[in-house]
Structure 1
Amino acid sequence: MTDAKEMDAETAEGLERLYRRYNSWLTGRLRVFVGADQAADVAQETYIRAAPYSAGGVRRPKALLLRIALNLVRDDSRRSRRRGGEPADVDAVDPGEGASQLEDLLLKQVILTMPALYRDVFVMSRFGGMTYAEIAAARGLNLKTVEWRMSKALDHCSKQMGA
């Protein structure tokens, strides 16, 4: 006997929609870090694990798929270390570092696609630790302009990572 359950039609349809829309995006992101063969395997397992969420409609499908994939990479690295081997195709020093490097790479890609007008404010705030008032003074901008640019930068990040 098997523990496999048949998927209801709504779940299968939701999963198929996720797969068709995001599979090339997900495997492309993973391929950069873990290689083509492992990226395909991780992506396949990601969709299996995403199945229960697919029926109800996912608000942020890219974020869900990426989180599941990163957890799978992290788990694989841990299992490999427990067996005394090196993590397969993952250049991780510790179990969580490989996935952390992937997250950093994805964040960098999102920031680089951001218009320069918003990127400067975002980087100064999030990585420079500057307040909006400090950014306004440093750039010779109105405080409201800094707030507006930051909201646009955050909106850009949200669209890139979640939509």
Structure 2
Amino acid sequence: MSDQSRRMEGEGGGELSILYRENERWLARSLERRFGDQDIEDLAQETWLRLASAVSFSDVRHPKAFLLRIATNLASTRRRRRELALRAEAGAAVRDCIDADQTDRVMLIQIVLGLPESLRDVFLLSRIDGLTNAQIADRLGISPKTVEWRMTRALAHCAAQLRR
């Protein structure tokens, strides 16, 4: 006799004890086929505990179907709880990424705004507007070599700020 069966008899559950002995292995195999071997022992034990606290056994016409229904409901509840926990974790990770992205954007904007105006103009025309050095030179009325020099200085300034 298993420990579970002894406990059921000790609690005055003679009918339950008989039902348990007759269906213990069947329930375990059925749960394993249906749900795999993950947490089967816990699921089976919880099924018997639910059964013990819920019914008068004389009212149960199809004990195997009733046991399987209880186990299926318990497994569904567990699955939903796991999914909710995973969603909560994923949501927290996304919020963390969004917060980090927003923080990074604010920091980058501050760095760019902190550039001297001549360097900032070249940087924005190149990186934001996508203009070539020659196009920037034409627009600002400076030589392409000056555009290159200013861009080098702007990038060095940004890199130094990011290292802080």
Between Structure 1 and Structure 2, the one with more helix by share is 2
- Say yes or no: TM over 0.5: no
When normalised by structure 1's length, the TM-score is 0.43
Instruction: Name which structure has the greater RCO, CA cutoff 8 Å, separation 6+.
Output: 1
When normalised by structure 2's length, the TM-score is 0.43
